[in-house]
Amino acid sequence: MTTPTPAATIEEQRHNVLTKQKVTSVPDAWDDLSSIPGASTGHDIVPLTKNRIMLVGRGGSGKSTLINSDSRIAILDLEKGGRTVRQPRAIRFSPPPTTPFVHRAQYCRDVVKKLVTRKKSGKDDIQMLGIDTIDSLIHAFALEMMNREKITDPGDYGGGHGKGYAVLRNDIMDNILGPVTQAGMGWVIICHITPIKIRAGEGDKLVNELSMSQSFRGAFFKECDHFLAMENTKVVDKKSRQAVTAKQILCTPGGTWANGAIPDVKVRVPIKARIVLPITDPFAALEKEYNLACEKLVEEYDDSSTSSTGSTDEG
């Protein structure tokens, strides 16, 4: 199993990567464009905790364990999966049992508002929002809408034709994910997957499908920086030399997902295709691999820049 990397080493690696970045402001030659908000050039790499991540996998694959293992993550723990994970270092927020189901969405808005206000006041110890799970968050917002509008399904809102689902998506984006991003924080949303049978040729085929509608899936997939999958795998324990179950992150397009109904894995930084996570400090292990990938990206840019600027014509 991988030896966990100390937090200080992780922070040092992150600092080294970020300080090696190329120019991220517009040079003088483009000064007429520099007044446009968001104008930049060169690398603009952010820490893993400021990324927007979709994390998918079946129950028991380690999704909750991963995000609960880091104290920089605040979690909307709607399914209360963080109560029994191995290293519950993150702070969790779950609606109290006395909270009516139709008020759970407002509870989530209030928590996010508090976190964002806290971040804007200068406190940087919480850098990421976790949602466990996005399936449950959508359900909470749907119950609120149905109670408010006196309808039996969000699809009946505004005369039907699916308008209610668009309103739900906008509500979650505008009041949960949007404010978090605008405050300079990252987010990681957990989503269950469900095996389903589809007709393929003359027989049935088992594929993986996200436990949410295609419209929600498309909206979140478009906004995320990384779409990662978790699954159980077998590795050989060095001491016992026995195969043991371990958690694994899949960070490569295709693979398990190529023949399924889920969109391919999505990454902004070329992380290793497969990362076996240790039992202790799994998020730190993922962050280490992310930082190494960022460093390699910067070094490759350095090499290409040197080769292009170092060549001369002798004609």
Q: What is the CATH number of the domain that holds 115?
A: 3.40.50
- Are the C-beta atoms of 55 and 188 separated by less than 8 Å? yes
Q: What is the predicted pLDDT for the residue at 284?
A: 93
One-letter identity of residue 300: E
- Residue 220 within any structural domain of the chain: yes
One-letter identity of residue 262: I
Q: What is the predicted pLDDT for the residue at 296?
A: 86
Per-residue buried b or exposed e for 186-215, using 16+ beta carbons within 10 Å of the residue's own CB? bbbbbbbbeeeeeeeeeeeeebbbbbbeee
- Residue 315 within any structural domain of the chain: no
- Residue 87 within any structural domain of the chain: yes
Could you read off the pLDDT tens digit of each residue along the chain, which spans 315 residues?
Answer: 444 445 555 455 555 555 555 445 566 777 788 788 887 777 778 899 999 998 888 888 889 999 999 999 999 999 998 888 888 999 999 999 999 999 999 999 999 999 999 999 999 999 999 999 899 999 999 999 999 999 999 988 988 777 899 999 999 999 999 999 999 999 999 988 877 777 666 777 766 677 787 788 888 888 888 888 887 776 666 666 665 566 666 654 433 444 454 545 567 787 887 888 887 889 999 999 999 988 888 877 666 655 555 544 444
- Residue 251 within any structural domain of the chain: yes
- Residue 30 within any structural domain of the chain: no
Tokens of 95: 């609606």
For the chain, the distance separating the N- and C-terminal CA atoms, rounded to the nearest angstrom, is 57
Containing structural domain, residue 160: 39-301
Tokens of 269: 């930084």
- Residue 15 within any structural domain of the chain: no
- Residue 130 within any structural domain of the chain: yes
- Residue 185 within any structural domain of the chain: yes
* Distance, CA of 109 to CA of 129 (rounded, Å): 12
Q: Enter the DSSP assignment of 255.
A: G
* Distance, CA of 149 to CA of 272 (rounded, Å): 47
- Region for 160 from its dihedrals, namely left if φ exceeds 0, alpha if ψ lies in -120 to 50, beta otherwise: left
Tokens of 271: 């992380």
Q: Is 64 in a helix, a strand, or coil?
A: helix
Q: Whole-structure pTM over 0.75, yes or no? A: yes
- Give the C-alpha distances (Å, rounded to integers) separating 179 from 115, 126, 171, 187, 238: 10, 14, 11, 11, 45
Q: Enter the DSSP assignment of 51.
A: S
Tell me which residue has tokens 């006196």.
150
Question: Pairing state of beta strands 226-236 and 203-210?
Answer: unpaired
Q: Is 22 in a helix, a strand, or coil?
A: coil
Neighbours of 252 (CB within 10 A): 19
Q: Is 277 in a helix, a strand, or coil?
A: strand
Q: How many domains does the chain have?
A: 1
